[in-house]
Every structure is written in C-alpha cells, then in structure tokens.
C-alpha cells in the first residue's frame, strides 16, 4: 500500500518496519512465552482505523473517523470524557490504555475488500496496530476480520449488518457492536404489519454482496411470516449509481411494496429514482404503494432529502435518544464537530471504548486476554440500553430502533423519528439459528 493511502497520526511507533520490501509484523518479542503480535513496549499503543474515505459509503466513513478521533481524545484524558462517564464499567481512567498513550493510523477501505485488507495489513505490519476497527461494508468487514484472525490482532467490526459476519464467517478475534439483518427483520415486521397490513406483495432490489443477500433473506422471511408475498428479488451492483432500469420493471410486477436493500449512496440513488418514477403516488392492488428501506441512517436521510419522508426502516442508534450515555456522547461530539453524530459515529466510538475497557479489565493487550474479557460481557450506559457481547458468536445484543423519515423536520439533522424501540429480547436468536449456521468461531490467535 502506498504511503499516500495510509495516514499516520502521531509519531511512528518504536520498532515499526517502514522500509521497502516485505514487511514483517512490528514485534514478535522473545521477552516472554506469552508474546503476541505487536506487543507494545514503549509508552504508546497504536490502533488502526480503517474507514471508507472514498466510494459509496464515504459519508459514513467520515463520521466514523470523527468518532474514532473523539474516542482517542477521551481515552487519553482530553475533552469531557463522553461516555466514559456513563459506562457501567469503571476500568477506564483517562490515561490511555493500560497507562500507554493511544496513537492511531488510518486507512481507506474504498468500500472494496481487497483495498481494505491491504490497508489493514499495512497498519498491522508497518505501523504496529494492535487492534483494527472500522468499515461500512460487510464484504469489507468479513475480509478484514479474516485477516486479523490470521495476523493475531483483535478486530472490532464497524458498520457490518450481514448475518454472516457473526454467522458463517465469524472469527474468535472478531467482535461486532452493530446489529444485523435478522434483527432488522425481527424489529421491522410488527411495525410494517401495523402500518401496511398483512396482505402485501413485495419487490426487492438488493445490493449484490453478502450484506444485501442476508438482509433480503431476513426481511423476506420476517414479512412472509406476516402473510406478505415476495414477488421478485433483483440483485444490483454495488458500483451502480443509476437504478432507473431496475425500478421500471416494478411498475408491471403486481407488487405494492418496494423493499430497497441498499445502503449509503446506493440507497440515496435508488430511492431518488423510485420517487422520480412516481411509485409513491401509485395505487396498486387497491393499496397505496409503499417503499421500505430496512437499514438506513441520518446521513442517508440527509442525502435523500424530502424523499425520505415517512419511509420506514431500522437503525442501530439515533442521536435523539434520551438515555444518559447517548446524550453524553451527543454533547461531546456536537461540541467538537458542531453537529450531532450518526449511528456510524456512535458504533465506532463505543467499540473503541469497549476494546480499551477490555484491555484494562484483562490487564493485557494480548488479543486472547482481550477476547476473554469481551466474551459474555454485559454492560450499560453506552446507548441502546443493557447490552451483551455473546460468547458463542461475538455478536452484540441490544435494543434496536425502528425509524421513519420525519414529515416536518425542524433542521437538517432532525430527519428521523423513532417509531419503536424494540427490546433486545425480541431480536435475540439462538446461536445455531439456520441463518447463522455454517461457520465455527474457532480459537483466538495471539499471533506469536
């Protein structure tokens, strides 16, 4: 990876290999039998923030990076401490992690698996990152999670909604704070039934990669259980920007609901095209035609503008939540950046603090000690209510929000209305659920 694609915040870590040729892991120290990849030996520790700085999910990536910078500031004792003050665990002290100042490097995933692996590999091998986090694509998350498992570092997944991330592709070194497609279906189905009834014909447009596939499967299963019929599912390329040719056939399909299994810029463009085709004014099967976006965020709502009004979907978190942790984060983020945080920002901030907290509770940066501290960890005070990191698959279980676009927003940030706070119990599933079958968590790899 070229130096222009990887940015360094702070000084190069002692012992890092920065020369030409094949890079080796920064340190495999022989100081003890318990050595692990990139064991910090100086006064700092390096984290790797791998986000989409270009591509269809770049808006999400920009907010992720803001949140990571804020988390590092708080961990190092700066600012007002944010959710460190409301977090039920009191292990973090504001003096870095285990007394070491937190430094970080960043990379651009480009929303491409190969690019994301390359930047993560460089951060581990050249910059000495002991943990990698970030991304807004499940394809990226699964690829980087596999790399981190092989390299012997912890991966704290960013925005990854595919069932596969903690399903068939789960890894012992990987943890996810974000919810997943199954959870969206479980939260949305009762709300959709209440709004639109149980006799509907749905046409799905689906991003053609792991997230889209499992999102569509989850929503179709949840709505078909209500009595809905899935009349078609058409896959669309992640690189698509004009969805007109995919929208046109919907008009003659007999469907009265369009489900857009799209995210980021894809969703903004496909929803815009659907509105341009007049779908929201149509009456089909004696019913008002409806559009559903199973997963969306304030950033997407801003991009879609007025087209998002009354569109229903699910989200991981929203800045309007009134719990103490959420409002502490909103104050910190708003003070630093001048606007409220997105769900992307919240997710990435929280998982940075969770990683640091696990290191403190374990008394080590060894990924196996950190993993053990995270497995089965229950906590509160970080938004979304009481939360569990399940040991069996490293999936986070917490409350899920059903939202819709506001009819009369009061500002460019007040775009979503929380329709339902779905309790964690309603979206919890068995570790051997068929949608999550086929993979083994395996054993933690310390890398040495």
**What is the reported pLDDT for 136?**
84
Rounded-to-integer distance, Cα 402 and Cα 422, Å: 7
| Side-chain-facing half-sphere of 91: CA atoms under 13 Å | 17
- 30 — pLDDT class (breaks 50, 70, 90): very low
The pair of structure tokens assigned to 43 is 């006064």
Asked whether residue 308 falls in the same domain as residue 361, the answer is no
Rounded-to-integer distance, Cα 272 and Cα 276, Å: 6
Rounded-to-integer distance, Cα 224 and Cα 201, Å: 10
271 in a structural domain: yes
* Segment 16-38 mean pLDDT: 47
**What is the reported pLDDT for 53?**
94
198 in a structural domain: yes
* Segment 297-319 mean pLDDT: 93
Name the 3-class secondary structure at 307: helix
Q: Work out the end-to-end distance of the chain between its first and last CA atoms, rounded to an integer number of angstroms.
A: 24
**Residues 321-324: contacts with CB under 8 Å, at least 24 apart:** 321/383, 321/384, 321/401, 321/418, 323/383, 323/385, 324/86, 324/381
| Residue 29 clears pLDDT 50, i.e. is over it | no
- In DSSP notation, 94-127 reads SSSBTTBEEEEEEEE-TT-HHHHHHHHHHHHHTT
Asked whether residue 107 falls in the same domain as residue 240, the answer is no
Asked whether residue 408 falls in the same domain as residue 282, the answer is yes
441 in a structural domain: no
Rounded-to-integer distance, Cα 203 and Cα 248, Å: 12
**What is the reported pLDDT for 213?**
97
* Segment 187-195 mean pLDDT: 97
H-type helices in 231-314, by residue range? 244-247, 264-276, 298-304
pLDDT, tens digit (0-9, with 9 covering 90-100), for 381-407: 999 999 999 999 999 999 999 999 999
**What is the reported pLDDT for 299?**
87
Rounded-to-integer distance, Cα 298 and Cα 33, Å: 48
* Segment 198-221 mean pLDDT: 97
What percentage of the chain exceeds 90 in pLDDT? 86
Range of the domain at 224: 182-315+402-425
* Segment 208-213 mean pLDDT: 94
* Segment 52-74 mean pLDDT: 94
Rounded-to-integer distance, Cα 256 and Cα 243, Å: 18
286 in a structural domain: yes
Asked whether residue 195 falls in the same domain as residue 238, the answer is yes
H-type helices in 101-209, by residue range? 113-125, 138-151, 181-196
Asked whether residue 128 falls in the same domain as residue 52, the answer is yes
Among 420, 396, 32, which Cα is nearest to 178's?
A: 396
| Residue 187 clears pLDDT 70, i.e. is over it | yes
pLDDT, the chain, mean: 91
Cβ atoms within 10 Å, residue 149: 22
**What is the reported pLDDT for 55?**
86
| Residue 23 clears pLDDT 70, i.e. is over it | no
Asked whether residue 44 falls in the same domain as residue 164, the answer is yes
Sequence-distant (6+) residues with CB within 8 A of 234 are 203, 204, 205, 206, 246, 249
pLDDT, tens digit (0-9, with 9 covering 90-100), for 224-275: 999 999 999 999 998 899 999 999 999 999 999 999 999 988 999 999 999 9
Q: Which residues of 224-262 are buried (b: 16+ CB within 10 A; e: fewer)?
A: eeeebebbebbebebebeebeebbeebeeeebbbbbbbb
Asked whether residue 174 falls in the same domain as residue 192, the answer is no
Rounded-to-integer distance, Cα 295 and Cα 323, Å: 22
430 in a structural domain: no
Asked whether residue 271 falls in the same domain as residue 337, the answer is no
Sign of the torsion angle spanned by Cα atoms 171, 172, 177, 179: positive
Contact between 134 and 154 (Cβ < 8 Å): no
Asked whether residue 240 falls in the same domain as residue 295, the answer is yes
State how many domains the chain has. 2
Asked whether residue 88 falls in the same domain as residue 188, the answer is no
Contact between 166 and 173 (Cβ < 8 Å): no
Rounded-to-integer distance, Cα 391 and Cα 126, Å: 31
437 in a structural domain: no
- 297 — pLDDT class (breaks 50, 70, 90): confident
pLDDT, tens digit (0-9, with 9 covering 90-100), for 88-141: 999 999 999 999 999 999 999 998 999 999 999 999 999 999 999 998 889 999
pLDDT, tens digit (0-9, with 9 covering 90-100), for 135-153: 888 999 999 999 999 999 9
Asked whether residue 207 falls in the same domain as residue 301, the answer is yes
Asked whether residue 283 falls in the same domain as residue 340, the answer is no
Residue 57 belongs to domain with CATH number: 3.40.50.2300
| Residue 24 clears pLDDT 60, i.e. is over it | no
44-51 and 101-108: which strand pairing?
A: parallel
277 in a structural domain: yes
pLDDT, tens digit (0-9, with 9 covering 90-100), for 435-447: 999 999 999 999 9
440 in a structural domain: no
The pair of structure tokens assigned to 108 is 């651009």
| Side-chain-facing half-sphere of 66: CA atoms under 13 Å | 23
- 34 — pLDDT class (breaks 50, 70, 90): low
| Residue 51 clears pLDDT 50, i.e. is over it | yes
């Amino acid at each position: 990876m070229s130096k222009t694609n990887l940015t360094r915040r702070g000084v190069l870590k002692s012992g890092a290999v920065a020369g030409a040729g094949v890079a080796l892991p920064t340190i495999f120290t022989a100081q003890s039998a318990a050595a692990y990849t990139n064991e910090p030996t100086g006064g700092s520790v390096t984290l790797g923030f791998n986000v989409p700085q270009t591509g269809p999910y770049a808006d999400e990536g920009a907010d992720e990076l803001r949140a990571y910078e804020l988390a590092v500031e708080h961990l190092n004792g700066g600012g007002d401490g944010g959710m460190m003050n409301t977090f039920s665990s009191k292990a973090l002290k504001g003096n870095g992690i285990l007394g070491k100042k937190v430094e970080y490097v960043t990379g651009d995933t480009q929303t491409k698996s190969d690019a994301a692996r390359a930047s993560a590999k460089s951060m581990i091998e050249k910059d000495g990152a002991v943990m990698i986090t970030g991304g807004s694509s499940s394809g990226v998350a699964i690829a980087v999670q596999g790399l981190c498992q092989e390299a012997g570092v912890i991966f704290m997944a960013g925005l990854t909604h595919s069932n596969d991330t903690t399903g068939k592709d789960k890894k012992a070194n990987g943890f996810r704070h974000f919810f997943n497609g199954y959870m969206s279906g479980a939260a949305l189905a009762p709300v959709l039934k209440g709004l639109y009834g149980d006799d509907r014909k749905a046409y799905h447009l689906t991003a053609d990669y792991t997230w889209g596939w499992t999102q569509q499967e989850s929503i179709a299963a949840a709505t078909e259980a209500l009595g809905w019929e899935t009349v078609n599912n058409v896959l669309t390329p992640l690189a698509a920007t004009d969805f007109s040719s995919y929208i046109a056939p919907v008009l003659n399909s007999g469907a009265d609901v369009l489900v857009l299994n799209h995210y980021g810029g894809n969703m903004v463009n496909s929803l815009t095209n659907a509105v341009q085709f007049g779908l929201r004014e149509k009456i089909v099967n004696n019913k008002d035609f409806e559009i559903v976006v199973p997963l969306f965020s304030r950033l997407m709502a801003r991009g879609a503008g007025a087209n998002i009004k009354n569109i229903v979907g699910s989200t991981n978190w929203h800045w309007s939540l009134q719990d103490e942790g959420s409002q502490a984060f909103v104050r910190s983020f708003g003070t630093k950046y001048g606007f409220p945080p997105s769900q992307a920002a919240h997710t990435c901030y929280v998982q940075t603090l969770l990683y640091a907290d696990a290191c403190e509770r374990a008394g080590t940066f060894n990924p196996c000690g950190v993993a053990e501290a995270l497995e089965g960890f229950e906590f509160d005070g970080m938004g979304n209510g009481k939360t569990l990191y399940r040991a069996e698959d490293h999936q986070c279980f917490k409350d899920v929000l059903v939202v819709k676009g506001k009819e009369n927003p009061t500002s460019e940030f007040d775009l979503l209305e929380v329709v339902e706070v779905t309790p964690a119990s309603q979206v919890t599933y068995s570790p051997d659920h068929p949608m999550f079958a086929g993979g083994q968590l395996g054993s933690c790899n310390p890398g040495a």
